[in-house]
Amino acid sequence: MYVAGTYDVVIVGAGHAGCEAALAAARMGCRTLLATLNMDNIAMMPCNPAVGGPAKGHLVREIDALGGEMGINTDKACIQIRMLNTGKGPAVHALRAQTDKKVYQNLMKNTLENQQNLVVKQLLIDKILMNNSVVEGIETENGEVYLSKCVVIATGTYLKGRIILGEVAFDGGPNGQRSATKLSKSLLENGISLMRFKTGTPARVDRNTVDFSKMRIQPGDDQTHNFSFMSDIDTRQQVPCWLTYTNSKTHQIIRDNLHRAPLYMGIIEGTGPRYCPSIEDKVVRFQEKEAHQLFIEPEGLDTTEMYVQGMSTSLPVEVQYAFLRTIPGLENVEIMRPGYAIEYDCVDPLQLKATLEFKNIAGLFSAGQANGTSGYEEAAAQGLVAGINAALLVKNLPGLILGRSEAYIGVLIDDLVTKGTTEPYRIMTSRAEYRLILRQDNADLRLTEKGRLVGLVDDERFQRFCQKKLGIESTLKLLAETLVSPTPEMQTIMRTMGTAELRTGSSLYDLLRRTELNYDRLSQHFSLPDIPGNVSEQVEVTIKYEGYIKKQLAEVERAAKLEAKLLPPNIDYDKISGLSQEARQKLTKIRPLSVGQATRISGVSPADISILLVYLEQQRRMEL
């Protein structure tokens, strides 16, 4: 055995999960190795060249608040940015950016290569080395062994990956890369259960063959936005996307060729994402729809490749040409890369703790699409948590677990390890029961101090956070203490501001509750200090939604009582009389940390929870 190196943490895979895991572990002082199949494909975006969107944008802001890299990198590589859902409440506002995918890759690669404590190597991993259910390192295809106290599996869709395009299928990862064909066997031999999932991607088409005059332009916002709380970018070049639609001719061509679709031929075995179906799946499932919208998105500033968002497919290339050319603006289109499907192995996340460490294998973690999720943002969020917890384990410190009321990251991970998933999991705002307090705008207020405690938030970031927090608190106090009376002069001011006259004395705090007023309008008529936009935003949301926020915080407090009732790790559920058979099986398999987590397990009824609470009370009294 040739030992090529010894590390504290080894990361297997350099996609979005692997990059965040590696940076987190290294920045926390651990000697870290990042192993990638191809140095040229670090942080590759094999699907759409975009970051963010509903719920996903929340994850990016939370990654940033904890000290991760995705937000900073996206801001630098961004070529268009928009705030979505602005017609709705702040809880569902979502930032979405088009990136130059090559710039994104190169920036992240440069960040990794210049990170202290981090070594990046091109390696194909065949085995995870273990001894008595404790991880010891990895072994490459060349027989090199890298010893490590912790290993993070972040293999994405490369684990026994299989590309499928029409009647053609071959082993491979995204964009025709190699796949890890032997690592699955190593995991199975060590008692790890695997699932088989599937995802896909649309064709990339040549911009020079697209007629944009037949499409509707989708420009970026005039206002400059940033994902990172540390970004000071105030201007950027904005490149438009374009909107077009499928039609009855498109759908008929797809229906006529369903017998050639791998999904319906039985070639594809894996389960695909319900919330991002292929175009052939859309045509079959939504037969009543006469058109599906498509966004034609640029892949970068220095390429003519454009991504056909909304048209994932694995139909043969000639069929892709046929249906694409029925779409307004694409009548003469040339395909630069055809769409395809990819099947891959992934870990059943029910085997994981909330720290993303395997329950039965000490020091082994899993993150990203390897856990059955879809999307760059979900991957990066898990990678960050896995990297943090691997570093904390090396230091013999307690792990970081984010609750459902603390972060969308907490919702994501809790869903995975408590409920599992039978299809590629996608985060959505509807999954978060406390979404009014889990807004993207307050991610730093929720999580920066946690990032500081684990060692990822540096002095500059923490100082900015403290200034913002102090600014919010002092402004709220000032508004509450500034009183106004219904004098003739004041009524004139009210009319000038376009709001109802005062009936009684009021504070500026109460005035700001009014829908038509904001901090800027108040400051024009009262002696209020100039404050940064991010401070005034927080002040306005805090005041205008105060009642709703208080109600949700009360719900959090009630739920916290069940989360505080911890379940012993060695509890024998078979010996608790009264539990249903399904509850015994599920509780034994998942081994929830608390009664609160147990309530979210499918198959565990309210009656079962009552029995658990009685059991815990009996145990408490016996110990007195």
Nearest CA to 150 among 4, 3, 25, 66?
Answer: 25
Can you tell me the distance from the alpha carbon of 285 to that of 465, in angstroms, rounded to the nearest whole number? Answer: 48
Q: Give the pLDDT of residue 197.
A: 95
- Considering the domain 2-200+343-454 in this protein, what is its CATH number? 3.50.50.60
Can you tell me the distance from the alpha carbon of 349 to that of 595, in angstroms, rounded to the nearest whole number? Answer: 20
Query: What letter does residue 208 receive in the DSSP assignment?
Result: G
Number of H helices, E strands in the chain: 21, 22
Q: What are phi and psi of 162, to 5 degrees?
A: -140, 120
Instruction: Say if residues 509 and 543 touch (Cβ distance below 8 Å).
Output: yes
Can you tell me the distance from the alpha carbon of 230 to that of 234, in angstroms, rounded to the nearest whole number? Answer: 12
Query: What letter does residue 418 receive in the DSSP assignment?
Result: I
Q: At what angle do helices 70-77 and 376-394 cross, to 10 degrees?
A: 140
- For residue 256 the two structure tokens come to 């006529």
CB atoms within 10 A of CB 355: 20
Can you tell me the distance from the alpha carbon of 105 to that of 107, in angstroms, rounded to the nearest whole number? Answer: 6
Instruction: State the fold for domain 204-340.
Output: Elongation Factor Tu (Ef-tu); domain 3 (2.40.30)
pLDDT < 70: residue spans in the chain: none
Query: Helix (H, G, I), strand (E, B), or coil: what is residue 464?
Result: helix
Which residues sit opposite 80 in a β-bridge? 98
Q: Which residue has the tokens 């909107």?
A: 243
Instruction: Say if residues 607 and 621 touch (Cβ distance below 8 Å).
Output: no
**Which part of the chain is CATH 3.50.50.60?**
2-200+343-454
**Which part of the chain is CATH 1.10.150.570?**
564-623
**Which part of the chain is CATH 1.10.10.1800?**
475-552
- For residue 495 the two structure tokens come to 């009319």
Can you tell me the distance from the alpha carbon of 5 to that of 148, in angstroms, rounded to the nearest whole number? Answer: 9
Can you tell me the distance from the alpha carbon of 291 to that of 287, in angstroms, rounded to the nearest whole number? Answer: 10
Angle (CA) 384 406 385, round 5° = 15
Instruction: State the fold for domain 564-623.
Output: DNA polymerase; domain 1 (1.10.150)
- For residue 80 the two structure tokens come to 């268009």
Can you tell me the distance from the alpha carbon of 7 to that of 148, in angstroms, rounded to the nearest whole number? Answer: 5
Instruction: Say if residues 94 and 83 touch (Cβ distance below 8 Å).
Output: yes
Can you tell me the distance from the alpha carbon of 93 to that of 54, in angstroms, rounded to the nearest whole number? Answer: 7
572 HSE (CA, 13 A, CB side):
3
Nearest CA to 100 among 264, 247, 301?
Answer: 301
Q: Give the pLDDT of residue 623.
A: 79
Of the CATH numbers 1.20.1260.10, 3.40.50.1010, 3.30.420.40, 1.10.10.1800, which one belongs to the domain with range 475-552?
Answer: 1.10.10.1800
**Which part of the chain is CATH 2.40.30.260?**
204-340
Query: What letter does residue 387 receive in the DSSP assignment?
Result: H
Instruction: Say if residues 436 and 549 touch (Cβ distance below 8 Å).
Output: yes
Q: Give the pLDDT of residue 265.
A: 77
Amino acid at 614: V
- All residues at 6 or more sequence positions from 215 whose CB lies less than 8 Å from its CB, including other chains: 242, 243, 244, 296, 328, 329
- Read off the pTM: 0.95
Angle (CA) 482 486 488, round 5° = 120
Q: What are phi and psi of 618, to 5 degrees?
A: -65, -45
Q: What are phi and psi of 118, to 5 degrees?
A: -120, 130
Can you tell me the distance from the alpha carbon of 327 to that of 215, in angstroms, rounded to the nearest whole number? Answer: 10
Q: Give the pLDDT of residue 621.
A: 87
Angle (CA) 9 443 560, round 5° = 85
Q: What are phi and psi of 416, to 5 degrees?
A: -65, -50
